[in-house]
Amino acid sequence: MTQERKVALVTGASRGIGAAIAQQLIQDGFFVVGTATSEAGAEKLTAQFAENGAGAVLDVRDADAIENLVSHIEKEHGAVLVLVNNAGITRDGLLLRMSEDDWDDILNIHLKAVYRLSKRVLKGMARARFGRIINISSVVAHLANPGQANYSAAKAGMEAFGRSLAKEMGSRQITVNSVAPGFISTEMTAHLSEDICKKMNEQVALGRFGEPQDIANAVSFLASEKSSYITGNVLHVNGGLYMA
């Protein structure tokens, strides 16, 4: 590795799990580029990161935007040696009423973007003979959830993609793993009623929601030298909701 400070790219870093991951990687000594979908979000990240990183606007569905961003990072900061594919949305609905746009948006953001971003950073990782690609999956890739056929399919595809890529790139010391969160306390869960939260927690062995930091801790481990002999795996962080 020729870079003095490893560069990490975290998509969807402006809030929730992505924000916790970005801050943890900064604490771990990485220079972090975090993406947001708006200029205001990117500027906020730049201010938060200070000399430890930068914010950037990125629509992960846009192939040209991915190319331009990674090229800029390489020119200004060096090769991306840690990629965290975290950006995501939901478009829930029963399949009978699900539009093709709702299907396509989820597959494009959660799966096709992972293909594009991973492919774009691989050459820099291969030259450095070091790389960490970490995909943020979901417990729904393993547990059926009505109304999320699109999301479940995309996350399961993400994990299968990671296993194949791990086989392809292992000889270059590039690892590819997924982290699959369960119920995590974020802005998306804050609006749930106390009764719904109680019923959800009853399904979890530890009896509570996880925190974004729990996912950040898992990513921190997989991005480190401590995980150098782990690849093609899914790390479940769900408090016992699902046990592989």
DSSP 24-35: HHHHTT-EEEEE
Residue 70, pLDDT score: 98
Q: 193 or 98, which is more confident?
A: 98
pLDDT surpasses 50 at 78: yes
Of the candidate ranges 129-138, 180-189, 226-235, the one whose mean pLDDT is the lowest: 180-189
**145 vs 174: CA distance, rounded Å:** 33
Position of tokens 């402006």? 14
Residue 163, pLDDT score: 98
**143 vs 234: CA distance, rounded Å:** 14
**51 vs 32: CA distance, rounded Å:** 10
Position of tokens 């992972």? 114
List helix spans (H) across the chain: 16-27, 39-49, 63-76, 100-107, 113-128, 149-169, 194-201, 212-223
The answer to whether residues 205 and 6 touch, using CB atoms and an 8 Å cutoff, is no
* pLDDT (mean) for 119-131: 98
pLDDT surpasses 60 at 7: yes
Q: Which amino acid is at 114?
A: V
The catalytic residue among 115, 151, 229, 242 is 151
Contacts for 239 with CB less than 8 Å, ≥ 6 apart: 182, 183, 204, 205, 206, 207, 208, 209, 210
Q: CA-CA distances (angstroms) from residue 214 to 48, 110, 138, 217, 231?
A: 21, 21, 14, 5, 20
The answer to whether residues 135 and 114 touch, using CB atoms and an 8 Å cutoff, is yes
pLDDT surpasses 50 at 2: no
pTM as predicted: 0.95
Residue 229 annotated in active site: no
For residue 210, the cross-strand partners are 184
pLDDT surpasses 80 at 143: yes
What percent of the chain has pLDDT above 90? 91
Please state, as a whole number, how many other Cβ atoms lie within 10 Å of the Cβ of residue 226. 10
Position of tokens 């890529």? 165
